[in-house]
Amino acid sequence: MLLAGAGQAAAQGTEHLRHPVALAPELQAAVVLSEGNYAYFSVGGRRETEDFAGRRLALGLDYLNLTVGYEHNWNPQWSWGATLRYAREPATFYNRSAVVPGLLLRHRAALGPVQFGQRLGLEYAFGDEPYNASPFPTTSVYSRTLLRLRLDVEKVIRLGSQPNGLALRPRVSFEPALFLRLQKAELDADKRTVDFTSLRGEIGVQAGPRITLTPWVGIQTNYSSLVVQLDKNGVPTSNGKLNTSTPVVGLDLRYTFLSNQPSADWQQLPTQN
């Protein structure tokens, strides 16, 4: 009986699906409005490295993200901001899309020789209804509230005597996105709390105060619920949970528009907004 129970528990474990490597290019533009005030824009997304039926691309991407944002620094440690993101998945016949406004609170502080950062974001996705459990990595597939907490550790390595000159910025970050709700829907009682996670490692190349080139690698995982499958005896063969992970190789390129030469203690935006 104990062995049978253990076998049944193992059979009802979470299912795991791993996709091939995806590519994630992004172009960014930041504008320094005044000391400690920034506006930024980005266009990017994800391109799968395997072909599939019904594939359609937007700007050469399977998943498209367009983002505008504003951030204000209260002091060197604290900042707040607002974002507006348009996400689209033209890769299938369903052509799903979503508009996602959000607010963010950021804290940065020295932790020994490195910089420790925390970013708390609250988003609401106005999106289309899902058609199946396939992952939609750029946003939620239907209207929902998301709470994002990103933790990162960064080291700035100056390669010259100029305070805003050439520098390397190695950084590691982890971000879970949690699905928030005040009440469960009757038809969606088993929706998972963790919606998405991202683990990312990068080396930003700061080529002066205006140009930043950031190659990065990461693992992005979607957490979804499926219909529980039964065997011929009516015994569940899974717990109805699916974790879909995708290795990602990305490259971010940012240009910062400056009206004046920045001061020696000028604080740039993080390599990952």
Domain membership flag for residue 162: yes
Among residues 112, 121, 196, the alpha carbon closest in space to that of 153 is found at: 112
> Quick check: 125 and 144 in contact, CB under 8 A?
yes
Q: What's the pLDDT at 138?
A: 39
Domain membership flag for residue 156: yes
Q: For residue 36, what is the DSSP state?
A: T
Burial of 125 (0-12, 13-18, 19+ CB in 10 A): buried
The DSSP bridge partners found for residue 151 are 118, 174
Domain membership flag for residue 268: no
Among residues 135, 76, 139, 79, the alpha carbon closest in space to that of 104 is found at: 79
Q: What's the pLDDT at 36?
A: 84
Q: How far apart are CA 134 and CA 79, in angstroms?
A: 35
Q: What's the pLDDT at 235?
A: 66
Domain membership flag for residue 133: yes
Q: What's the pLDDT at 139?
A: 38
Domain membership flag for residue 52: yes
Q: How far apart are CA 137 and CA 121, in angstroms?
A: 17
Domain membership flag for residue 269: no
Q: What's the pLDDT at 7?
A: 45
* pLDDT < 70: residue spans in the chain: 1-12, 52-54, 90-95, 128-143, 182-191, 227-239, 261-265
Domain membership flag for residue 266: no
Q: What's the pLDDT at 270?
A: 85
The CATH number of whichever domain residue 61 belongs to comes to 2.40.160
Count the domains in the chain: 1
Residues 6+ apart with CB under 8 A from 240: 190, 225, 226, 227, 228
Among residues 149, 145, 147, 272, the alpha carbon closest in space to that of 218 is found at: 272
Residue-range definition of the domain harbouring residue 205: 2-257
Give the torsion sign (CA, 161, 159, 258, 172).
negative
Q: What's the pLDDT at 62?
A: 83
Render pLDDT for 146-157 as a digit per residue (tens, 0 to 9): 899 999 999 999
Q: What's the pLDDT at 89?
A: 76
Integer distance in angstroms from the first to the last C-alpha of the chain? 53
> pTM higher than 0.75, yes or no?
yes
**In this structure, what token pair is assigned to residue 138?**
């750029």
Residues 6+ apart with CB under 8 A from 88: 58, 63, 64, 95, 96, 97, 98, 138
Q: What's the pLDDT at 162?
A: 78
Domain membership flag for residue 55: yes
Q: How far apart are CA 71 and CA 83, in angstroms?
A: 9
The bridge status of strand 144-154 relative to strand 157-158 is unpaired
